[in-house]
Structure 1
Amino acid sequence: MTLPYGPDDDQAAYQYVNAALRSRDAEAWRLLALETNVEQTDRVLRAILDRIAVARAHRSASRAKTRAKARDGEISQEEYQRETAEEAERVQKTINFEALVREHHRLIAPAARRLRGDDVRDELLNLVLALGGAVAAHREAVLSDGLKPTAADEALWDRLAALDVPSTKEGEGRSTVEELVKRHTSGQDDLGRVLAEIVLDVAGDAPSVPRAALVGPWKKAVSPILGTEEKGEFAAKGKGSLVTEKLRKTLGHLERKGLVKRGGTGQDQRLEVLDRAGLEELADS
């Protein structure tokens, strides 16, 4: 048995996937997950999630208009309450449907990523960022110490400025490694400020703090600023929680800055405060 549409007919695929989502047809999902079909299925599921996001934004604007009408007396409170109740019912249905889509996407996405080479690309990008970050840190250290850079130093820095890579965002062109490192570092510093403040609050005057004690405040602070789509896409990669991954990377960022040091493993892992003044400066920046 094959799917009733071609590999390039995403419109027909969209209709088929929508029907499969609502019917919970196991055979349909077996076909959709086949290696010959999985990339298209992944593409369609992401398109459905995009439409849900657009619809959510439209509903939010519509609710704001309804509230304004009620406030200005253009509709009665009875009409407002009726519309609000109807909207709440629609919202709940959408939430349930989105959860269903994300669950199927979570199962489909890893295979699609492997076929597209996304995992390899991400690994290579992380390597480029690590190398680029090391070169940038080396340049900053040399210049901040007032040292005269060697010809090799300058050649290395020029290479960092000239070397370009494909953009990490769909639809964008290429960017230099230097620009990529700057954007990455800026994002890390934003989260670093959040984590520095949490570490200071939790540690108090203590020289170290259990990593587990940071998790709750971190989730409370960071989860709202991460988009639902972003978290869903990360989960679809089979890599767990994006919030937890951000904590892991931000801890590494603070560690590379010499502000903290991780020790121990698992639930016994602790964070030693190495530079309290540096943490305070970062938290206040």
Structure 2
Amino acid sequence: MTLPYGRDDDSAAYHYINAALRGRDAEAWRLLAADSHVEQTDRVLRAMLDRIAVARTHRTAERATARARAAAGEITQAEYQRDAAEDATKASKTAHFETLLREHHRQIAQAARRLRGDDVRDELTDLVLALGAAVDAHRSAVLAAGYEPTPADEALWARLGELDVPDTDEGRTSVEDLVRRHAERQDDLGRVLAGIILDVAGAATSVPRSALLTEWKKTVAPTLAPEQKTEFAAKGKGSLATERLRKTMGHLERKGLVKRSPDGQRLDLLDRAGLADVADGRE
């Protein structure tokens, strides 16, 4: 048995997948996850999730407009409540369908990633980034101390700009630029987290990680693009916002500003003044 459409016919794939989601046909999903079609299936499922996200944003805007009209007396409260109830029913059905869609997409996305070699690529990129960051830190330390770099130092530093790696946004980018962008992102998130830590801690010397996570999600999660969240979830690593918090905590730890408790459930403040400097962008 084969799928009744070609690998370039996403329109037909959409209709087939939509029926498979509602019918829960195990054989259909076996075919959809086959190497010959899994990347197309992944692409179509992502598009379906994107449409749901766009529709949700549009619906939220419509409800805000309706509330304003009701408050201004342009429509009656009864009309507003009736429309709100209908919208809630539609939203509930959409949420159920989205849950089902995401369950299937996690499996499909993992199969597509394996086929493309994405996990291996990500591991290698992380390794290159770690090595590049170490070289950059070495360069900064030598220059900050006023030492005369050796020819070996200069040759090592030059490689940062000469080596390039695949980049999803720009095709290819130098390792040096990759390190710079990573450092800027870490600094930006570090400023956000430092402010949250100080606000949550008050006069206390430590804060529960759960309290930080709650405030972090309120601040950072809305800034993450839906496709970023979907891509990360497809890797089976949980929440992207939570992962960003973990890495940003490590960033502040390396600066000597905070320290995680042995069980990882609390964060001790080691340098309150230093956290304030980071939060205010002075460091």
| TM bucket normalised to smaller | 0.7 to 0.9
Amino acid aligned to 1:157? W
1:223 aligns with 2:207: no
Residue 18 of structure 1 aligns to a residue in which SS? helix
Does the aligned pair in 2 maintain the 1:261–1:274 contact within 8 Å? yes
Does the aligned pair in 2 maintain the 1:33–1:108 contact within 8 Å? yes
Q: Distance in 2 between matches of 1:31 and 1:38?
A: 8
Compared CA separation, residues 235 and 72, structure 1 to 2 (3 A): same
Compared CA separation, residues 205 and 50, structure 1 to 2 (3 A): closer
Amino acid aligned to 2:280? D
1:170-197 CA-partner distances (Å, limit 9, x unpaired): xx43333222222212222233234445
Q: Distance in 1 between matches of 2:185 and 2:9?
A: 38
Residue 175 (structure 1) aligns with: 173
Amino acid aligned to 1:259? L
Q: Distance in 2 between matches of 1:222 and 1:188?
A: 14
1:89 aligns with 2:89: yes
Does the aligned pair in 2 maintain the 1:166–1:175 contact within 8 Å? yes
Q: Name the TM-score, length of structure 2 as normaliser.
A: 0.83
1:278 aligns with 2:278: no
Q: Percent identity?
A: 66
Compared CA separation, residues 27 and 259, structure 1 to 2 (3 A): same
Residue 239 (structure 1) aligns with: 237
Residue 50 of structure 1 aligns to a residue in which SS? helix
Q: Distance in 2 between matches of 1:73 and 1:61?
A: 18
Residue 61 (structure 1) aligns with: 61
Q: CA deviation at 1:236?
A: 1.8
Does the aligned pair in 2 maintain the 1:198–1:217 contact within 8 Å? no
Amino acid aligned to 1:39? E
Residue 50 (structure 2) aligns with: 50
Does the aligned pair in 1 maintain the 2:161–2:174 contact within 8 Å? yes
Does the aligned pair in 2 maintain the 1:109–1:237 contact within 8 Å? yes
Moved more, 184-193 or 45-54: 184-193
1:24 aligns with 2:20: no
Amino acid aligned to 2:93? K
1:142-164 CA-partner distances (Å, limit 9, x unpaired): 23333333343333333323433
Q: CA deviation at 1:276?
A: 4.5
Compared CA separation, residues 260 and 219, structure 1 to 2 (3 A): closer
Matches within 5 A, 1:72-87: 72-87=72-87
Q: Name the TM-score, length of structure 1 as normaliser.
A: 0.83
Matches within 5 A, 1:60-139: 60-139=60-139
In angstroms, what is the RMSD of aligned CA positions? 2.8
**Number of residues paired by the alignment?**
276
Compared CA separation, residues 271 and 82, structure 1 to 2 (3 A): closer
Amino acid aligned to 1:284? D
Q: Distance in 2 between matches of 1:281 and 1:166?
A: 35
Q: CA deviation at 1:33?
A: 2.0
Unaligned 5+ runs, structure 2: none
Does the aligned pair in 1 maintain the 2:45–2:105 contact within 8 Å? yes
